[in-house]
């Protein structure tokens, strides 16, 4: 994880040092060598969504765009993308969200780089951190939803015709 220079994101011990920090006595400025670690990626993203989402787009659009890039970089094709007044949705013929083929299970609580792409991250964490509501649909069945804000029938209508697997992201919480 890259070193961060923000003091409000860390735990401190009684001496004023960040938990897990290191001090380099060869640095000129006091604290210049201090290495700070964020306690939890989700907390950091939620407290600073502007670092991860453009502020000139609705969150669901930005999240769906990053999920689309994540799927494309995994070689998932064909993909179907749909936008309605309330939702953005991405569909494919296979489940690409939970794990890559023959690969490790993806996580939704920390930043993971896109394979082979510098300064990037997979889109799944934005579902957990920023989406007002999201759901996954597999073979005509809702297999996950982030809350009970929308019923299964509504989610299934949004995913209809998108393929065997779809991710549905709400524009706003109802």
Read off the pLDDT of residues 69-90 as tens digits, 9 standing for 90 and up.
Answer: 989 988 899 999 999 999 999 9
3-class DSSP state of 139: coil
19 vs 21: CA distance, rounded Å:
5
3-class DSSP state of 70: helix
Per the listing, tokens 């064909």 go with 78
The confidence score (pLDDT) of residue 106 equals: 61
71 vs 139: CA distance, rounded Å:
18
Res 8 pLDDT > 60: no
The confidence score (pLDDT) of residue 120 equals: 85
* pTM given for the model: 0.71
Q: Say which residues have a Cβ less than 8 Å from residue 145's Cβ, sequence separation at least 6.
A: 133, 134, 135, 136, 152, 155
| Contact between 106 and 99 (Cβ < 8 Å) | yes
Each residue of 28-59: pLDDT tens digit? 444 444 444 445 788 888 899 989 898 898 88
């Amino acid at each position: 994880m890259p070193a961060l220079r923000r003091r409000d994101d860390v735990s401190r011990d009684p001496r004023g040092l960040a938990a897990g920090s290191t001090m380099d006595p060869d640095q000129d400025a006091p604290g210049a060598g201090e290495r700070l670690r964020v306690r939890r990626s989700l907390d950091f993203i939620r407290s600073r969504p502007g670092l991860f989402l453009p502020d000139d787009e609705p969150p669901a659009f930005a999240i769906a765009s990053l999920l689309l890039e994540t799927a494309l970089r995994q070689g998932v094709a064909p993909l179907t993308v749909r936008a309605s007044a309330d939702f953005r949705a991405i569909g494919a013929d296979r489940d690409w969200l939970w794990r890559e083929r023959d690969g490790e299970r993806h996580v939704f609580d920390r930043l993971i780089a896109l394979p082979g792409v510098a300064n990037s991250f997979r889109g799944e964490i934005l579902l957990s951190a920023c989406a007002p509501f999201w759901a996954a649909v597999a073979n005509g069945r809702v297999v996950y939803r982030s809350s009970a804000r929308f019923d299964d029938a509504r989610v299934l209508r949004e995913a209809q015709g998108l393929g065997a697997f779809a991710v549905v992201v709400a524009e706003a919480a109802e």
